[in-house]
Structure 1
Amino acid sequence: MAPTRRPSDGLLARVNFPLYAVDMLTSRHILVAGGGGSSKTGVANGFEIYELYHNGSHFCAEEVLRHETGANVVMNFAVRNNGRRGYLCAGQEAHCQMYYVQPRIETEEDGGDKKPNPVERPHENGNVRQRGGAAAAAHSGVEFIANGHKPPTSVDDLLKQFQRLRFDIQAADVVQTDFLKSSEPLQRVVRISGNGRLMATGGTDGKLRIWSFPQMTLGAELPAHSKEIDDLDFSPDSKYIASISKDSQGLVWDLSTGKLHHKLQWQTPEGSKYLFKRCRYGTVEAHKDNYRLFTIANPLGKVGKQRGYLQHWDCASGKLRHAVAIDESLSSLAVRDDGRFVAVGTMFSGSVSMYIAFTLQRVLHIPHAHSMFVTGLQFLPITNEEGPPISSDTEAAVLSISVDNKVCIHSLAQRRTIPAWMAVAFIIVMIFAVFVLCSYIGI
């Protein structure tokens, strides 16, 4: 039985526009994007950046930056951080807009001596808490303790040692990435390769386009699908890219040749037609040359109870290795950066579940995490090169967003296991005890 939500999990922040994309900008900064579109509804379009921290009992978030994008809703994006500057590539209708994201330490001129803008979130008892400057400093003290350092001795020391990271966003180049002629073109997905040299886009015209990055010059255009592309993902070694589409095809391409490497083929239940919805690669023990491919698939045109599948594929042959059925259509997928956990979000109930990647055993289920379908999931990183991961008492934590405007977090508590040496010692003691007992009663 998978554990249910802990009281400390749930709502991190509420935005005043629908959310469609989420990613980690740094090891402790969340980037979410969305909007209400170009219609005059009064609903904004843009990005929000939140700082995430753990106060010793639960996760908290604080707004750092809000950037509005005018009439252009952001449906998808990809981020790349090179240390000094980050790149944000955002899908805005038929175009991909690049933004420079420049981090900087907050100064007094920026208002560093003032309380930052708080984010409302429910406390364990249902009350709304706000994090100000002193609370921010207190969380810094928690990080000192968690990382084995001696905490500052006073609140003044805390305030002096706590430095907030701010971001400046500047629009850069823009390129058109979709050219559908029969109706409105739309970029559906953008990805940046792990080595930071390539960008891939897919949209309604079914073409898989590979761009150099960060120059964003077109390198290859592959007629990959007959219908719109729903998702893409680069393999961790940046040698392959997977593409899935509404034409029911799941394809893996060799980037060195631009040719098809293999198709994803499986025996569907009762011969029903299924469509792949999302695809994600995951490493095995954090090795980029050893990885798995995960997909989610939903039935097409099925009336009544929907039954989606979470699937694990062999990357060499393209054969299905393992699959688990879920009593609902699925909408989102995420794999943790070390490849140990997979998470899925559902279409109708807004639920989130977490699985062990190797066995696809469910270890966490959050029913009705959102009031509408889950549009995006993102695990908190543990191998992020841009800084140490957030110290917490959880084994894994995943962020979820939805068109219900909410940013939520769901964490798996540390599963207590007996060390191997202790198990062996226990067995030896038990055998010895049985031997003594048998000797005593004369058996």
Structure 2
Amino acid sequence: MAPTRRPSDGLLARVNFPLYAVDMLTSRHILVAGGGGSSKTGVANGFEIYELYHNGSHFCAEEVLRHETGANVVMNFAVRNSGRRAYLCAGQEAHCQMYFVQPQLEMGTDGNKEKPMQVDRSHENGVRNRAAGQHSGVQTLSNGNGANGSSQHTTTAADIIKQFQRLQFDIQAADVIQTDFLTSGEPLQRVVRISGNGRLMATGGTDGHLRVWTFPQMQMSSSWPAHNKEIDDIDFSPDCKYIVSISKDGQGIVWDLSTGKQHHKLQWQSPEGAKYLFKRCRYGTVEAHKDNYRIFTITNPLGKVGKQRGFLQQWDCTNGQLRAAVSVDESLSSLAVRDDGRFVAVGTMFSGSVSIYIAFSLQRVLHIPHAHSMFVTGLQFLPITNEEGPPISSDTEAAVLSISVDNKVCIHSLPQRRTIPAWLAILFLIIMIFIVLVICSYIGI
């Protein structure tokens, strides 16, 4: 049975608008987006940025920036961090709006720039709201080892300087392009992705066309009618040679980016011949084999209401054959794969639950029932191979962020699973061999 979450996990932040998209802006900054739409309900639309850290016992978050987008709700976005600044491409109705996210180093001093201000970083449930003009102060540093997952060390001058420095961000609107051209209804961009090499952007929406753009210029390089119904999700392969798309027409198709032609379809025999629709798709690398990768999807029964079985699936990237699948007791709503390809997470539609699986075997290793009060709209693993900075030190093996239309940002971590040290296993083997030899000698064998 998979373990449930630790008491220190759970709520990181609460936003005053429904959340639809989440990603890591840097190795320790969370970006979430959503809103209430264009109706005059008083519910805002926009982005929130939080700084994430681990205090030695649990994860905490502090609000860094809030950026409102007027009447335009943000339903999906993609982030590309170039080091000097980040590019944020957000789906707003039928358009893709690019933003420049400029990092700015802030010194942890008061308004007179003379002495550091002290800020209490301990908060119940890890929630920490930061008032305007407030800066971080001195804190004891933790390296994530020792009792309770942390050990204290002497704070050096370099540590003090680092504590007084904090990244702030300035978001500026840049180019905007129309990405969906549905003529028989309301056009809507459903998904946007940026390739791993940062050279391409892909969009999909209600008109069923898959469009590929040069990035960051956002000039269309190719477009084709990939599906006859709206596209729900797309993802670039790690080598940037292929792109997978799924749609409400029930098809999952892998496309060759160099030709725009179909490479293969994702095909499987659904249980009892029932009709299933793909909901989300993600590529994941194979551990220790970075040139190899696999596709993960979640799929739900069509036209079913209530707690129906959904599936988490793993596919062979060479031929589109199903390699493994595991059923879940209800329909699924969100999917994430960690950047090293080791873990997969899913969120559910009705109970708001989150689960983490080992990617290779699809064995569930963590289950968080009722993580949210409504369906999970987005998941994102904390990175461990992020190029924009070192990962956050903690006593966990994996941690995943979750968001929902219940306005909550939560985190769920998998504790380090205990394994027998190699030297102890060897010693045990030697002792067993010795005992067997003694027994054999005693009985004259």
Does 2:405 correspond to 1:403? yes
Q: How much has 1:181 moved relative to structure 2?
A: 1.0
Q: How much has 1:212 moved relative to structure 2?
A: 0.4
Segment of structure 1 superposing worse, 217-226 or 282-291: 282-291
Q: Cα distance 1:115–1:405, how it changes in 2: closer, same or farther (>3 A)?
A: farther
Asked if structure 2 preserves the Cα contact closer than 8 Å seen for 1:96 and 1:187, the reply is yes
Q: Cα distance 1:209–1:116, how it changes in 2: closer, same or farther (>3 A)?
A: farther
Return the letter of the residue paired with 2:430.
I
Asked if structure 2 preserves the Cα contact closer than 8 Å seen for 1:286 and 1:337, the reply is no
Which residue does 1:198 correspond to in 2?
Answer: 200
Q: Cα distance 1:439–1:160, how it changes in 2: closer, same or farther (>3 A)?
A: closer
Return the letter of the residue paired with 1:299.
P
Which residue does 2:437 correspond to in 1?
Answer: 435
Does 2:154 correspond to 1:151? yes
Which residue does 2:38 correspond to in 1?
Answer: 38
**In 1: Cα distance, 2:286 partner to 2:192 partner:** 24
SS at match of 1:428: helix
Which residue does 2:71 correspond to in 1?
Answer: 71
1:207-226 correspondence runs (5 A): 207-226=209-228
| Count, aligned residues | 438
In percent, how many aligned pairs have the same letter? 80
> Structure 2: which 5+ runs fail to align?
none
> Structure 1: which 5+ runs fail to align?
none
Q: Cα distance 1:88–1:135, how it changes in 2: closer, same or farther (>3 A)?
A: closer
Return the TM-score normalized by structure 1: 0.92
Q: How much has 1:431 moved relative to structure 2?
A: 2.2
The one of 284, 287, 310 equivalent to 1:285 is 287
**In 2: Cα distance, 1:138 partner to 1:276 partner:** 47
Q: Deviations 1:114-169 (Å, cap 9, x if unpaired)?
A: 86999996348xxx766797975326x22598999953269x97477431101111
Asked if structure 2 preserves the Cα contact closer than 8 Å seen for 1:13 and 1:119, the reply is no
Return the letter of the residue paired with 2:382.
L
Which residue does 1:137 correspond to in 2?
Answer: 138
Q: Deviations 1:393-423 (Å, cap 9, x if unpaired)?
A: 0000000000000000000000111134432
Q: Deviations 1:82-123 (Å, cap 9, x if unpaired)?
A: 100100000000000000000110147995778699999634
1:6-155 correspondence runs (5 A): 6-107=6-107, 122-123=124-125, 137-138=138-139, 141-143=141-143, 151-152=154-155
Asked if structure 2 preserves the Cα contact closer than 8 Å seen for 1:78 and 1:191, the reply is yes
Q: Cα distance 1:288–1:153, how it changes in 2: closer, same or farther (>3 A)?
A: closer
How big is the alpha-carbon RMSD for the aligned residues of Structure 1 and Structure 2? 2.7
Return the TM-score normalized by structure 2: 0.92
Asked if structure 2 preserves the Cα contact closer than 8 Å seen for 1:118 and 1:131, the reply is no
SS at match of 1:292: strand
Q: Cα distance 1:191–1:176, how it changes in 2: closer, same or farther (>3 A)?
A: same
Asked if structure 2 preserves the Cα contact closer than 8 Å seen for 1:26 and 1:387, the reply is yes
Q: How much has 1:350 moved relative to structure 2?
A: 0.2
SS at match of 1:188: strand
**In 2: Cα distance, 1:56 partner to 1:366 partner:** 22
Q: Deviations 1:212-252 (Å, cap 9, x if unpaired)?
A: 00000111111000000000000011100000000000000
Asked if structure 1 preserves the Cα contact closer than 8 Å seen for 2:142 and 2:152, the reply is no
Q: Cα distance 1:109–1:413, how it changes in 2: closer, same or farther (>3 A)?
A: closer
SS at match of 2:298: strand
SS at match of 1:138: coil
SS at match of 2:436: helix
Q: Cα distance 1:14–1:384, how it changes in 2: closer, same or farther (>3 A)?
A: same
Asked if structure 2 preserves the Cα contact closer than 8 Å seen for 1:311 and 1:323, the reply is yes
Return the letter of the residue paired with 1:138.
Q
Q: Deviations 1:329-348 (Å, cap 9, x if unpaired)?
A: 00000000000000000000
Return the letter of the residue paired with 1:151.
T
Q: How much has 1:33 moved relative to structure 2?
A: 0.2
Q: Cα distance 1:130–1:46, how it changes in 2: closer, same or farther (>3 A)?
A: closer
Return the letter of the residue paired with 1:86.
A
Q: How much has 1:290 moved relative to structure 2?
A: 1.0
Q: Cα distance 1:4–1:136, how it changes in 2: closer, same or farther (>3 A)?
A: farther
Which residue does 1:164 correspond to in 2?
Answer: 166
SS at match of 2:216: coil
Asked if structure 1 preserves the Cα contact closer than 8 Å seen for 2:264 and 2:319, the reply is yes
**In 2: Cα distance, 1:119 partner to 1:275 partner:** 45
**In 1: Cα distance, 2:220 partner to 2:78 partner:** 17
Which residue does 2:2 correspond to in 1?
Answer: 2
**In 1: Cα distance, 2:137 partner to 2:268 partner:** 51
